[in-house]
A = this chain, B = another copy of it.
Amino acid sequence: MTAPRFGHVGSRDLALFTDRYELTMMQGYHDANHDRLATFSVYFRSLPPDRGYAVAAGLEQVLAALESLEFDADALAFLADQGFDDAFLAELESFSFSGELRAVPEGTLVFPNESLLEVTAPILEAQLLETLVLNQVGYQTLVATKAARMADVVARHGNGQTLVDFGSRRAHGVDAGLKAARAAYVGGFDGSSNLLAGERFGVPTYGTMAHSWVQSFETERASFEAFADSYGDDAIYLVDTYDTVRGAERAVAVADERGVRLGGVRLDSGNLIALSKAVDDVVGDAGIVVSSSVDEFFLREFFDAGGVATAFGPGTALTTSGDAPSSGVVYKLTAVERDGELEPSMKLSPGKVTYPGQKQTYRVERDGSFVRDVLATRGESIDGRPLLETVVEDGSLVANLPTLSDVRERTRSQLERLPERHRRVSEPDAYEVRISDGLERLRRQTERKIEDRER
């Protein structure tokens, strides 16, 4: 009998977590003796719908991957089987990342055309990274952004409600469940229901009870009694299995009878705004957790309508970034070595403007408020705070990793400095990303050079 395979992706599997064409090109570069330096830039062409900003996230995973990327004997045997050449595979045997990585710190707000990462390395190495980098940075950035939007609505319209990721079950696979918990925390959430996120990343974990708890006892009351006996003070009771308001009354009564302090009740269905008000009259000072279909649009409506809650548990909308499930970040070649120098490069796409060369983003602030960013060439001298930092040199980590709390704090503090019109959850104003004179000149030069060559 064949054993079932889960399909885990461990550190030794990351080298094969790539599109076949990356290896095809790598072999081609090898055959053509073309392993020159190249720079690839990771950026948004445009932000997803209704996004006025994105919160960069996932850099730590890229750094971990860079340290562990290698082709072991199994991987090489598989690639041989897939038709790759012995000479090329012999080269892969000693593969390790030897290049440079510049990046904005996680928790940095980014805007269209601004590099989240810039990789400069021999093209065989840089090419391999594309799939994995986009996969990790794209997804975490998407979720951190979604989380930040919710956290921002709570900060502006709520009164300090706790935000907890409840979406592991709806995330696309186990990596997404784990990384969503991390990214939600980066975006400003207080924690996650996912225990592995606690174990792996120190994300605070939260949990109440499910309908199955209530149903598994003879009556709702019996289930609450058992829970009170087991957990004592501060337990939270799910009250909507049969009748929400009656359930809340029972939770109060059971806590009272058992002589324990009621932590709160959770509402998971029905008209949550109306029910939250009704239940608020019942539970007094105890908490109200609202956990069905929560996203930033719901939160705005909830607060506008005077809903009452002490915590929210967004799930599906958070971990799938439901209204915008893909990020559109790209990994584009922007420079390649020619005659010993990095020569700026770009694709000529009708209607799409792209910026060649290594770059730097400068953020201009006034009175504690972000005014604009300026996208410039790497060497240019521009007013403002440069965002990209060198984190890996000659293949080695050269920067200190911030803690996840530091990253979360960076997101919060940057959001506070972004004018509110760019933080609206619907149709925000676009933040200005000015192109420096130097970069605009370089773009035109590069375009002309390509047109001349391709004539």
Write the residues of chain A forming the contact surface with B, with a CB cutoff of 8 angstroms. Answer: 1-11, 13-14, 16-25, 27-29, 31-32, 34, 36, 38, 40, 60-61, 63-65, 67-68, 74-75, 78-79, 82, 123, 127, 130-132, 134-136, 138-139, 142, 166, 168-180, 182, 193-196, 198-201, 205-213, 215-220, 226-227, 229-231, 240-243, 246, 269-270, 316, 319-322, 325-327, 331-333, 336, 338, 345-350, 352, 397, 400-401, 403, 450, 453-454
Contacts and interface: CB of A to CB of B under 8 A. Distances in A.
10 A-B pairs with least C-beta separation: A20-B207, A173-B175, A21-B207, A6-B64, A172-B172, A325-B325, A4-B63, A172-B176, A212-B333, A134-B169
B320 A326 contact: yes
Given A205-B82, A215-B336, A174 B135 contact: yes
B199 A230 contact: no
Nearest to A241: B347
A172 B155 CA distance: 28
A236 to B, nearest CB: 9
This chain: how many copies in the complex?
Answer: 2
5 contacts: A2-B401, A6-B14, A13-B196, A212-B332, A215-B347
A5 B231 CA distance: 34
Contacts of A10: 8, 10
B27 A230 contact: yes
Given A34-B226, A134-B170, A194-B17, A6 B216 contact: no
Given A10-B8, A17-B168, A320-B172, A135 B177 contact: yes
Contacts of A219: 453-454
A326 to B, nearest CB: 5
A191 to B, nearest CB: 9
Given A2-B403, A10-B10, A21-B209, 8 more contacts: A7-B178, A9-B175, A13-B200, A130-B212, A172-B173, A173-B173, A212-B332, A215-B333
Nearest to A196: B16
Nearest to A227: B28
Nearest to A346: B215
A339 B411 CA distance: 55
A330 to B, nearest CB: 9
B230 A31 contact: yes
A242 B322 contact: no
A83 B397 CA distance: 36
B216 A1 contact: no
